[in-house]
Structure 1
């Protein structure tokens, strides 16, 4: 059992550490809105992770197998949302920050941004279900399975919190300020690319 949890934790960490929509959502929030908002975005990502992990554990893939149209609709909606974010980032890349009055970051909006970015990728549920099937033996109790869900959420919380703290530091902020237009356009392309790939995947 311990070996299964270690395997689950390592595989989930590797998956979380690979740059994807969640990573770029946290970094973007950190450099644009500050540390408090980026931590709120992290919490949104973690809640989304819990939702998809539970969905994967309770057989969302089996439901999709019975109702494939539901899976298609969720993929299309999630992909369209990621593309919409990407277009917005690209369009706002040229907007200068100079001379603008600083605004108090919306913690709730940052949380929803992290949550919706995570929920826009239903592939997370399939990945979680696959990991649980490999790492946990058949017949594992619900309590142990829920502990596994808590483990992946904790790993996501720690990793993305580190990303948020680094992204909101002064050196990172200064570098970002010099390259803001390029970084935002690149991030926009990444979001749109993920969304397009999600919509085209069979």
Structure 2
């Protein structure tokens, strides 16, 4: 067996704790599902998983290690990631309203998927996760290290979907309660503020604090 069952269980428990911790991905899923419904929320979940697959490829080809070991490259990723998060957060204060009139979602599934994918790919914490967590569960003696990384990444994707998809369904279920303009404004502003907070923390931890 490429990855033995004991290692998979230990990895799943560790990764599961990380998946359950709130972050930009969670806020983005809730925001888009609340704003535009279940299908857009699930598209956001799908975008996050595309980002994780991208991180897997970056780790396999050693690009993540290059970025992490280059102060300039790592800071550029942090700046780009925080700027993208801040841009999405600011949109929450620009009066976007929820759609219940049959005219289609205010946020398309394509935008939701791309936003989630880009935010995940440009999140320095995810890069560190792949460099700090996954290698601890890889056994070079068994060979086929890329395949081991793929298996561990797929476990992470499954855990993510198991947690994030129900969030999208739950958010969609309470959309009717959000039809009041004042509540809509509060939801958009709150999620926007959370995303701006995550953007500021990203800059602080990976640019200002580390300089």
Task: Sort the TM-score into its range (normalised by shorter chain).
Answer: 0.7 to 0.9
- Cα displacement (A) at 1:71: 1.0
Alignment equivalent of 1:39, drawn from 39, 42, 45:
42
Alpha-carbon distance change, 156 to 56 in structure 1, aligned in 2, over 3 angstroms? same
Residue segments in structure 2 that go unaligned for 5+ positions in a row: none
RMSD: 2.2
Q: Is this contact kept in 1: 2:33–2:41, CA < 8 A?
A: yes
**SS in structure 1 opposite 2:103?**
coil
Q: Is this contact kept in 1: 2:68–2:128, CA < 8 A?
A: no
Partner of 2:125: 123
Partner of 1:185: 189
Residue segments in structure 1 that go unaligned for 5+ positions in a row: none
**SS in structure 2 opposite 1:91?**
coil
Equivalent-residue separation in structure 1 for 2:155 and 2:47 (angstroms) = 16
Q: Is this contact kept in 2: 1:21–1:191, CA < 8 A?
A: yes
Q: Is this contact kept in 2: 1:83–1:192, CA < 8 A?
A: yes
Q: Is this contact kept in 1: 2:35–2:98, CA < 8 A?
A: no
Alpha-carbon distance change, 154 to 48 in structure 1, aligned in 2, over 3 angstroms? same
Deviates further, 118-127 or 186-195: 118-127
Equivalent-residue separation in structure 2 for 1:31 and 1:11 (angstroms) = 29
Q: Is this contact kept in 1: 2:55–2:64, CA < 8 A?
A: no
Q: Is this contact kept in 2: 1:31–1:168, CA < 8 A?
A: yes
Q: Kindly indicate whether residue 10 of structure 2 is the aligned counterpart of residue 7 of structure 1.
A: yes
Q: Kindly indicate whether residue 136 of structure 2 is the aligned counterpart of residue 148 of structure 1.
A: no
Equivalent-residue separation in structure 2 for 1:5 and 1:96 (angstroms) = 43
Equivalent-residue separation in structure 1 for 2:70 and 2:109 (angstroms) = 36
**SS in structure 2 opposite 1:168?**
helix
Equivalent-residue separation in structure 2 for 1:164 and 1:82 (angstroms) = 19
Partner of 2:103: 103
* Cα displacement string for residues 131-163 of structure 1 (whole angstroms, at most 9, x for unaligned residues): 112223344522222111111112112221111
* Cα displacement string for residues 95-148 of structure 1 (whole angstroms, at most 9, x for unaligned residues): 5558x8443232222211221222231220111221112223344522222111
- Cα displacement (A) at 1:200: 1.9
Partner of 2:138: 136
Q: Kindly indicate whether residue 14 of structure 2 is the aligned counterpart of residue 19 of structure 1.
A: no
Q: How many residues align?
A: 197
